[in-house]
Structure 1
Amino acid sequence: MFTRFILFFSILLIAVSSSSGQEGSSSPYSFLGIGAKGFRGTVENRSMGGLGMFSDSIHLNLKNPAAYADLELTAFTAGATSNSVELQTNSSSDDIDYFTFDYLAIGLPFNNFGVGFGVKPRSAVGYELEERTATRISRFEGRGGLNTVYFSAGFEPFENFRLGATANYNFGDLENKAVIFRDQVQYASREINFTDISGFSFETGVFYDLKLSEKLTLKTSGRYETGSSLNVNRRRELATIQLGQNETEVVVNQIEIEPAETEIELPELYAFGLGLGQERKWFVGLEYENYTAGDFSNLGFNFGTEVIQKKANVLRLGGFYIPRYNDPVSYFKRIVYRAGIRYEESGLEYKGEDINEFGISFGLGLPAGRVFTNANLGVEYFERGTTSNNLIQENFISVFLSFSFNDKWFIKSKYN
């Protein structure tokens, strides 16, 4: 067992390092605030419209810590996504493909108590924008994002009622660059903002199941995430530059602005879910989320009068169906078939337009033998933004895949 812990921690360290360097977004809207949303749930969650109100004995639910109380086997999981995006305006379109690492997590059961820890992205920044007028060309680039290392615990104080809590350490860095070329001016001006962000946030969750009949169970859930303050250390570089070969930026003169320390405020989250199902057969659930307005205005460089952060609402509907989970003959009858739909307000208003999302998803849970207990495959089509007011609409096709491994690590010895 000790060897397994060492192996997992080694993988976790590699995952933290790689996730810090990955380009987790290609969205022009990641220019605003701390970037686009990074973690959208496990593959199982996302295949059901992002539904986070279902838990079982072998899968990790990273959206509600109360789910750790349901674990019966040690569960290890990792997931990744391949994204194909069409960026569309009123007059043109462009296509971008990119790949992201989504999460790495482990859950450990102890009777009616379970714990888990891992790493997942919180936000992602990745954009290249250009704006042209008769007298000026402006170019904007950004990279980076926030990652979260977390520790969760869940327990069952009495039958069918589970509670859980999570402590998150959020950390990361953003780099935002603006270069402006003016007509009949020899040199261009450049501003680079380097922003380091870190701090803790906390979550709680609850599940309660009510047996309606021998087969039917009513499931309810609740989640709350604190609106925590994160520390911000911001450094600026101002320079005049000229372009060399292959548009290499050659610095003519540069000054550094004294670093500034400030804070940003993450939004509070309230979520409630209600669902109906038959154990190991089918489930349908509806979940509502409400976010208060976050405050990222202290970032300054990407929060002008055109940007408004406000309350947001999310509605999710999803579920799964298993023809026969223990069928001894047919592999296809043991497959978990998932589907979902969601409508999501981002809480971001830009140039008078709400930047919202609508998505529909499908997925499969595939029994995979001894090496991996199961593999989970999903696909989602969703739209974000609008072409109104000269903005950009993003049309995503995301294919996500995860592998899960289950084992019993803690076995009481029967012999001395």
Structure 2
Amino acid sequence: MKKIFVLSFISVGYFLQAQNLGNSPYATYGIGDVKYDNTIETASMGGISTAYVSDFTSSFNFANPANNANFELTSIKLEATNENNYFKTDYNNTKSNKHSTYLSNISLAFPLSSKVKMGLSYQPYSSKNYDILYTKTLEDGTIYSYNRFKGSGSLNTAQIALAYKVAQEFSVGLRANYYFGNLSDLDEFSTPNSELYNGYETTTNIKNFNFTLGANYQHLNTSTDKKLTIGATATFGNTSNMTTSYKNSTYFYTDASMETKSYESIIEQKQASSKNLLPLQASVGVGYGSENQWFASAQVDYKKGEDILYFGQPKQFQDSYRVSVGGWYLPNYNNFRNYFSRVVYRYGAFYEKGNLSINGQGELDPNGNSINKFGISAGVLLPFKNSSITRMSGLELGVELGKRGTLKNNLINQNYINFKIGFNFADRWFRKSLYN
């Protein structure tokens, strides 16, 4: 059974890598539209994870690997996301919709001992999937030129996490993150009376490795069953092999779908390497709750700005931060007469000051408009019939509603609603029985 599952894990991971993920036009900048951390449990609670230690023995926290003191079972998670984006801009009063469904997470976690826990995870980290046509017209309505912006590709992450319980109230954890994938962007110019196209193409191959260090302190008042949790994480140690190729050329298309080029003439071609793919990130959180009844938490995430090459030109991402609040509520798990009393209800909200600052010409500019994001979320864990408080398996559902961007200076406002569904299968698997 172990061999069968490992092969299935690899096969699903290969499928995940080949997915075509939908996203925002803002994905044109940098490494695309970042998806991680998009687990249902985290997303349904507004993104809180740094000070979140599950009360149940079946949930492994990858975001802060130190938060797994209660984890005791072998857990297999499979999750999918359905994204629905609605875009609007004041430029020509344009509106558009975009929808996509993709496998968003697979993970395997298990305890190595009473103090050491381990997890493996595979997720899409970011993606580019946009195709925008900008038409420039003269005062008399005559079309002067076309600019086509097209992007594709995805960046995936494979992780291995270890948690160690140092003392009764203190734990530490370490997660190794490997990022890999290919991203491409095309800025193409043409005119109505010419079959010749001028394109500036950027192709990036990414292989990056870094670490996330986590710590957790949790105090449980045994007389009241109330608990206080404090957590922190830091991501560091960029070891990057990111190679970007730039090509400026002219060409013709030989097919109606405009995919096959012919008679390509290269004007300029160059290649560059970068080691600053994923900058320093840190988070701190605090939570308070009642054992097996409810929990609430607040969290602040920080990401350092970075310098990038955008179509061969040096640009800068801004420092960004995110404030999240959320938690969960379990009415009464011992009430077997009412199934919904045994359901875990999750809730959350967040505000994110983004790392993009864009001016009216669509260029990254520190004095431009900040592309921020906010949203609310909710979800449930529907336990299977044979689940118990110490063996919580079930169907997980989540929904997130939010807004990103602005209408200022003809930029794009993005409203979205994302649905998530997944299964958590948890049991005492892969362990030898003491008795025959």
Q: Do both share a fold (TM > 0.5)?
A: yes
Check conservation: 1:205, 1:221, Cα contact below 8 A.
yes
1:76-103: CA deviations, max 9, x gaps? 1121110111011121211111112211
What is the Cα deviation at residue 247 of structure 1?
Answer: 4.3
- In 1, Cα distance between the equivalents of 2:190 and 2:305? 35
What is the Cα deviation at residue 190 of structure 1?
Answer: 2.2
- In 1, Cα distance between the equivalents of 2:304 and 2:237? 8
Identify the residue that residue 48 of structure 1 maps to in structure 2.
45
Aligned counterpart in structure 1 of residue 229 of structure 2, from 216, 219, 223: 219
Identify the residue that residue 404 of structure 1 maps to in structure 2.
424
- In 2, Cα distance between the equivalents of 1:44 and 1:250? 45
SS of the residue corresponding to residue 275 of structure 2 reads strand
CA 1:359 to 1:302, structure 2 compared with 1: closer, same or farther past 3 Å? farther
Which deviates further from its counterpart, 141-150 or 178-187? 178-187
Read off the aligned partner of 1:282 and give its amino acid letter: W
- In 2, Cα distance between the equivalents of 1:258 and 1:356? 34
Aligned counterpart in structure 2 of residue 320 of structure 1, from 318, 324, 328: 328
Identify the residue that residue 393 of structure 2 maps to in structure 1.
373
Which deviates further from its counterpart, 245-254 or 266-275? 245-254
What is the Cα deviation at residue 314 of structure 1?
Answer: 0.7
Identify the residue that residue 31 of structure 2 maps to in structure 1.
34
1:307-358: CA deviations, max 9, x gaps? 5411111100101111112322211100011110000122111111111110
SS of the residue corresponding to residue 156 of structure 1 reads strand
Identify the residue that residue 333 of structure 1 maps to in structure 2.
341
Unaligned runs of 5+ in 1: none
- In 2, Cα distance between the equivalents of 1:9 and 1:158? 33
- In 1, Cα distance between the equivalents of 2:193 and 2:38? 51
Check conservation: 2:22, 2:83, Cα contact below 8 A.
no
1:36-79: CA deviations, max 9, x gaps? 11213310111110111312221122211112332111111121
Residue 180 (structure 1) aligned with residue 189 (structure 2): yes
1:141-174: CA deviations, max 9, x gaps? 1111211111100011110211100011111100
- In 2, Cα distance between the equivalents of 1:10 and 1:21? 17
Identify the residue that residue 290 of structure 2 maps to in structure 1.
278
Check conservation: 2:282, 2:302, Cα contact below 8 A.
yes
Read off the aligned partner of 1:156 and give its amino acid letter: K
Read off the aligned partner of 2:241 and give its amino acid letter: N
- In 1, Cα distance between the equivalents of 2:155 and 2:431? 38
Check conservation: 2:305, 2:316, Cα contact below 8 A.
no
Check conservation: 1:20, 1:144, Cα contact below 8 A.
no
- In 2, Cα distance between the equivalents of 1:194 and 1:16? 23
SS of the residue corresponding to residue 226 of structure 1 reads strand
Read off the aligned partner of 2:417 and give its amino acid letter: I
TM-score (norm 1): 0.92
Alignment of 1:53-68 (within 5 A): 53-56=51-54, 57-68=57-68
CA 1:143 to 1:217, structure 2 compared with 1: closer, same or farther past 3 Å? same
Identity value in percent:
29
TM-score (norm 2): 0.88
Identify the residue that residue 141 of structure 2 maps to in structure 1.
none
Residue 129 (structure 1) aligned with residue 132 (structure 2): yes
**Cα RMSD after superposing both structures:** 2.1
Identify the residue that residue 198 of structure 1 maps to in structure 2.
207
Aligned counterpart in structure 2 of residue 310 of structure 1, from 311, 318, 331: 318
CA 1:114 to 1:167, structure 2 compared with 1: closer, same or farther past 3 Å? same
Identify the residue that residue 99 of structure 2 maps to in structure 1.
97
Check conservation: 2:29, 2:310, Cα contact below 8 A.
no
Read off the aligned partner of 1:361 and give its amino acid letter: S
- In 2, Cα distance between the equivalents of 1:410 and 1:101? 26
Identify the residue that residue 362 of structure 2 maps to in structure 1.
none
What is the Cα deviation at residue 250 of structure 1?
Answer: 4.1
Identify the residue that residue 364 of structure 2 maps to in structure 1.
none
- In 1, Cα distance between the equivalents of 2:282 and 2:71? 24
- In 1, Cα distance between the equivalents of 2:132 and 2:20? 16
Residue 117 (structure 1) aligned with residue 116 (structure 2): no
- In 2, Cα distance between the equivalents of 1:355 and 1:88? 14
Corresponding pairs, count: 409
- In 2, Cα distance between the equivalents of 1:414 and 1:242? 71
